[in-house]
């Protein structure tokens, strides 16, 4: 059986780098980015250079031809989500439109969007204030910053393309992954504040769980929602006992079965923090 052809954008970024090997093993993988080196300056093998912000989609159309699914991880980055400006996020939304529209024109079946938990980050302070216990994809997406607004826009635009209403009924299947915290480095010096530590533990997304979730998003036969639209939003986190975002929908809809729990994986790092707090009666 022939392998699926998958296009990974933003291929030199951190999120892409965590799953490139797993995707290469399973698919005919095409890599696309505006450069060919990662943040360490190392060359990433096989990357084709293209600017997906370019309105002339013919400049990168060839990379989309014959593709079954696009994993879109490309975006103009920011150091701090609260310090990004509107126009940078506007560019990211325009880039996403270019990806979606090129997919429609080149008969790509599905897009898996590597988005962010910041599409609903307004709820986080409410969790820490104990006004909200848990957040799921069914909670209305709310944010108080332009970075989060951009992620909400990815989802809203993705739903439009999934309905087919703007493309003569032609639908682009669409999965949005709201990524949590995809960095092991968060636990090299874990937070001493218990609420911050709970956040880090709850948001963690291991590399193998990320790869598994993306693969299941690519390969799931049915991603229709309750209205019959091929569109889903899933939180991208591991099976963390500290989680405060819901993953049961991904488990039920596409069979996501996370293998990692941050409290277990980093027990040697976070255990002493809890022990110290207990010793001090906190």
Instruction: Kindly list the domain boundaries of the chain, sorted by start residue.
Output: 5-279
Residues 37-62 pLDDT 10s: 999 999 999 999 999 999 999 999 99
Residue 260 reports pLDDT greater than 80: yes
- Identify the CATH class of 5-279: alpha beta
pTM recorded for the entire structure:
0.94
SS3 277: helix
What was the pLDDT predicted at 185?
85
Listed range (83-97, 159-173, 185-199, 235-249) with the worst mean pLDDT:
185-199
pLDDT of 123 > 60? The answer is yes
Give yes or no for residue 282 having a pLDDT over 60: no
| pLDDT tops 90 at residue 279 | no
> Which ranges of the chain does DSSP label H, i.e. alpha helix?
14-17, 20-26, 86-105, 123-128, 146-163, 194-203, 207-219, 248-254, 262-265, 267-279
| pLDDT for res 281 | 58
pLDDT top residue among 271 and 59 = 59
The pLDDT tens digits for 18-41 are 999 999 999 999 999 999 999 999
Query: What are 138-154's pLDDT values in tens digits?
Result: 999 999 999 999 999 99
Question: pLDDT value at position 280?
Answer: 64
pLDDT at residue 168 is higher than 60: yes
3-state per-residue secondary structure call for 215-254: HHHHHCCCCECCCCCEEEEEEECCCCCCCCECCHHHHHHH
Give residue 277's pLDDT. 59
Locate 175 and state its tokens: 């999965």
């Amino acid at each position: 059986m022939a392998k699926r052809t998958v296009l990974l954008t933003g291929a030199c970024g951190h999120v892409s780098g965590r799953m490139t090997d797993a995707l290469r093993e399973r698919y005919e993988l095409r890599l696309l980015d505006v450069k060919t080196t990662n943040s360490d300056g190392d060359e990433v093998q096989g990357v084709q250079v293209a600017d997906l912000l370019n309105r002339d989609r013919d400049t990168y159309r060839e990379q989309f031809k014959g593709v079954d699914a696009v994993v879109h991880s490309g975006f103009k980055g920011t150091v701090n989500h609260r310090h990004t400006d509107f126009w940078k996020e506007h560019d990211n939304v325009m880039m996403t439109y270019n990806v979606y529209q090129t997919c429609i024109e080149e008969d790509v079946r599905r897009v898996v969007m590597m988005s962010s938990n910041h599409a609903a980050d307004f709820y986080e302070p409410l969790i820490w204030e104990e006004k909200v216990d848990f957040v799921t994809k069914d909670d209305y997406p709310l944010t108080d910053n332009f970075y989060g607004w951009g992620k909400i826009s990815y989802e809203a635009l993705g739903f439009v393309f999934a309905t087919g209403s703007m493309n003569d009924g032609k639908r682009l299947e669409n999965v949005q992954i709201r990524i949590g915290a995809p960095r092991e480095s968060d636990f090299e010096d874990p937070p001493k504040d218990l609420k911050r530590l709970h956040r880090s533990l709850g948001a963690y997304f291991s590399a193998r769980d990320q790869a598994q979730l993306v693969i299941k998003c690519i390969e799931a036969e049915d991603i229709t929602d309750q209205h019959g639209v091929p569109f889903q939003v899933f939180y991208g986190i591991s099976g963390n006992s500290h989680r405060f975002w819901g993953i049961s929908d991904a488990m039920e809809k596409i069979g996501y079965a996370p293998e990692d729990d941050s409290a277990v994986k980093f027990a040697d790092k976070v255990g002493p923090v809890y022990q110290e707090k207990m010793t001090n009666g906190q």
